[in-house]
Structure 1
Amino acid sequence: MSSDNTISLVPPAGPLIGSVTLPGSKSITNRALLLAALADGQSRLTGALKSDDTMHMAEALRRMGVGIEEPDDTTYMVTGTGGLTVPDGPLFLGNAGTAMRFLTAVSVLAHGTVVLTGDAYMQTRPIQALVDALAHAGVTITATNGSPPVRIEGAGRLDVKRFEIDGQLSSQFVSALLMLAACGEEPIEVRLTGNEIGARGYIDITLACMRAFGAEAVQVAKQTWRVSPGGYTAGDIVIEPDASAATYLWAMEALTSGHIALGNQALTQPDAAAYPLIRSFPQMPRSINGSQMQDAVPTLAVLAAFNEWPVRFTGVANLRVKECDRLQALHAGLNAISPGLATLENDDLIIDARPQLAGTRVGTLVETHGDHRMAMSFALAGLRVGGVLIRDPGCVAKTFPGYWDTLVSLGVELV
């Protein structure tokens, strides 16, 4: 590393070959932590992710009366009492979107005032749609200018019949309401307005996690679920590896003609759909709809820079409201590497493939905006192009703390 705040890769001379143990899924870990916390009894979560995001979730739950122990690097022992207590002060959640959205909903189960806040990035991320959905159902809740901090006046119980929310805005909003609904006094319907569901695969993950902890949710219409009351039952769950993390390793294979063994466990998360697209490199499709695998789009976009022909990414407007405006960050970073490499047309991202960049050297600093996916994705460019300097490499701790060590283990030199 050239400094504590930047990192650059030396493009490897040959293929990357090795074996890597992926971190656990962030999406499943944070759902499982929450549902185990809401159950009465002890649950064991194995294969879990230990990262900034899951640390924020676990610490917040501890402060709300949940017993959480960590006997090893991939296990949580969670002891819940079937409810949550009011914390002794505001809960700081960093930039952990799942923790913020999920806790915003379930904080209504505490009896008293709960304040959720986060870092500067979090305080620009939209949450008003979830706040409105809860408010319309009778919850006393406010947000600051449509973003965190969020203040919830919890009633200690949930006595509503229906939640309604636009399913296009964020699957995390929908998941938050579904998980809360199982804690109701009577059956609760969760109904999605609008014509589309953003990242439907993550809602499926939520429903699977709910079933694993004993809750029943039945789809009664195209965009409506009826969730039975009764809460959650403690149990043991094995968390699968993180598919979003896997996309970086798959891309490393593609860019270097390498072979990186990741184990044979099947991945059910939406970003696993990126695998055949990455395997098609350097002849990726000319158009890719990223709406159902949004966290894989930065990986695919950087890979597309070295494709044989241009690639247009559609259905990616929601990338603007992630940890940063990822469309703008990808546009700026790719054009810093080679002017004109990326173009934005409204919310479509077009990559003007330039395989001739491979083997060249640039002297450019890529701003990550503290976004782990920007750092990990632009590291991929550094496998083909020298002199790509990445700002704030430590931000990968959000979901993949061992990312840079993984690259070193595969033979990549970091400077």
Structure 2
Amino acid sequence: MHINDYPQLEINPVSGPLTGQVILPGSKSLTNRALLIAALAAGESRLNGVLSSDDTLYMAAALREMGVEITNHDATTLMVRASGKLKAPDKPLFLGNAGTATRFLTAAVVLADGEVVVDGDEHMRKRPILPLVKALQSLGIDVSAPTGCPPVTVKGTGRFDGQVVEVDANLSSQYVSALLILAACGTHPVEVRLKGTGIGARGYIDLTLGAMQAFGAQVSTPSEGVWRVEPTGYSAATYDVEPDASACTYLWAAEVLTGGDITYQMDTSALTQPDAASRDLIRAFPNMPAVIDGSQIQDSIPTLAVLAAFNNNPVRFVGIANLRVKECDRTAALSQGLNRILEGLAHEDGDDLIVHSDPALKGQTLPAVIDTFNDHRIAMSFALAGLMIHGIVIDNPACVSKTFPEYWNVLSSLGVSFKGTD
């Protein structure tokens, strides 16, 4: 039976440093940006180093349903052939719990001529999208989401004429990115303006702008929190997707926990995604800072929180309110999981998470079944605890397929062993 096929997976603690070479998966964030932008570009684009995971497969499937031809040149290279226009699909677009794909497509399907329903699974139907819906409505677009979450119904006309849009990005920077990608396909220049000062993970907007510009978009920033996008459309291009920094955090943490030495296909200090900033925090272990602001490294927080359990001193995570509206309430899931390992190991203080830290956890037997809440990042981060503690069982290990399908195999290649339960 394949590792991912087991309903539960017990991690066997390691007896020495983890060493070996790992080929990191491509960035989910960049793969989905490149897929969508290439689909809006007339001609044939080549995407190198892409990630093949649940989230990116949902995006690709939705684009195919709207008339885009996407083929595999090899395992990590996609060819995207598009007319520059989208056609209304014959049925609702189902995107699972892929937040990036859902939000980006909610804006992009404005360019389809006809009604498009953007939907997801029961988890996605609890994730807010109303700020993006309101922003699109202000552009004169007929869009509705009665619950404030998917499903979203968009009545597209193949174009839009609005020129100024404000968006509240306090819950997610993806709302801004969705509007920026759409804006290049307008009939006039479009100003995307940030409403207020709050924004989740601002660095991801830089990733969006870089991907847009690689396909010919022209964007300027007349003032802080304002982006002016010219109506250039997009041109087919060759685009290289860099390895996934969020995935890399688990391996960086495994290195410092075990005293290991893992090599990668590139110098990971050169990664440009926001979560790359967590590298220095991880390298500070076992003397991580007493307070860590997670506002710009949100996807790294599960990794850092589990690592903090073994730190010399307690760590308070602040700026993480948005973790409550991810694939699950990650703050609650982290607190619950850590307390299953040892009662009192963590607690929530408002939207902050405090991990009380106990270096003596290493080598102990503390049986705990970790509820992953079907969240890939909860599963992958708590596997780190299993490297040090006997009895850590990950429920639903297959959920890692959302962004890192080979995660368990990668750990196995480094010397980690498992016990699967049927």
Instruction: State TM-score, norm by structure 1.
Output: 0.99
Corresponding residue for residue 43 of structure 1: 45
Contact 2:140 2:160 in 1 (8 A): no
Corresponding residue for residue 295 of structure 1: 299
Corresponding residue for residue 347 of structure 1: 351
Q: 2:308 aligns with which of 304, 327, 343?
A: 304
- Residue aligned with 1:108, SS: helix
Shift of 1:230: 1.7
Corresponding residue for residue 269 of structure 1: 273
Corresponding residue for residue 258 of structure 1: 260
Query: Deviations along 1:240-279, whole A, 9 cap, x unmatched?
Result: 0000000000000011000000133421000000001000
State the identity %: 58
Unaligned runs of 5+ in 1: none
Q: 1:7 aligns with which of 6, 9, 25?
A: 9
Number of equivalences: 415
Corresponding residue for residue 363 of structure 2: 359
1:73-88 alignment, distance < 5 Å: 73-88=75-90
Corresponding residue for residue 109 of structure 1: 111
- Residue aligned with 2:235, SS: coil
Q: 1:60 aligns with which of 56, 59, 62?
A: 62
- Residue aligned with 1:147, SS: coil
Please tell me the residue identity of whatever aligns with 2:42: D
Q: Aligned partners of 2:186 and 2:78: how far apart in 1?
A: 26
Query: Deviations along 1:268-311, whole A, 9 cap, x unmatched?
Result: 00000000100010000000000001000000000000000000
Corresponding residue for residue 191 of structure 1: 193
Shift of 1:176: 0.1
Query: Deviations along 1:149-176, whole A, 9 cap, x unmatched?
Result: 1110001102111111113221101000
Please tell me the residue identity of whatever aligns with 2:376: H
Please tell me the residue identity of whatever aligns with 1:344: E
Q: Does 1:153 align with 2:149?
A: no
Q: Aligned partners of 2:139 and 2:43: how far apart in 1?
A: 29
Q: Aligned partners of 1:334 and 1:360: how far apart in 2?
A: 14
Please tell me the residue identity of whatever aligns with 1:140: D
- Residue aligned with 2:37, SS: helix
Q: Aligned partners of 1:336 and 1:2: how far apart in 2?
A: 23
Please tell me the residue identity of whatever aligns with 2:180: L
Unaligned runs of 5+ in 2: none
Corresponding residue for residue 290 of structure 2: 286
Contact 2:139 2:160 in 1 (8 A): no
Shift of 1:72: 1.3
Shift of 1:232: 0.3
Q: Aligned partners of 2:176 and 2:390: how far apart in 1?
A: 42
Q: Aligned partners of 1:287 and 1:2: how far apart in 2?
A: 35
Contact 1:128 1:147 in 2 (8 A): yes
Q: Does 1:316 align with 2:320?
A: yes
Please tell me the residue identity of whatever aligns with 2:89: P
Query: What stretches of structure 1 move > 4 A for 4+ residues in a row?
Result: none
Query: Deviations along 1:50-85, whole A, 9 cap, x unmatched?
Result: 000000000000000101001211011001111100
- Residue aligned with 1:281, SS: coil
Shift of 1:4: 2.0
Shift of 1:3: 7.6
Shift of 1:2: 11
Corresponding residue for residue 398 of structure 2: 394
| C-alpha spacing 1:44/1:343, structure 2 compared with 1 (3 Å) | same
1:107-256 alignment, distance < 5 Å: 107-256=109-258
Contact 1:42 1:235 in 2 (8 A): yes
Contact 1:116 1:150 in 2 (8 A): yes
Instruction: State TM-score, norm by structure 2.
Output: 0.97
Q: Aligned partners of 2:301 and 2:207: how far apart in 1?
A: 19
Please tell me the residue identity of whatever aligns with 2:330: R
Corresponding residue for residue 24 of structure 1: 26
Q: Aligned partners of 1:313 and 1:43: how far apart in 2?
A: 41
Please tell me the residue identity of whatever aligns with 1:224: V
Query: Deviations along 1:151-204, whole A, 9 cap, x unmatched?
Result: 100011021111111132211010000000000001000000112322110000
Contact 1:311 1:351 in 2 (8 A): yes
Please tell me the residue identity of whatever aligns with 1:190: V
Contact 1:49 1:74 in 2 (8 A): yes
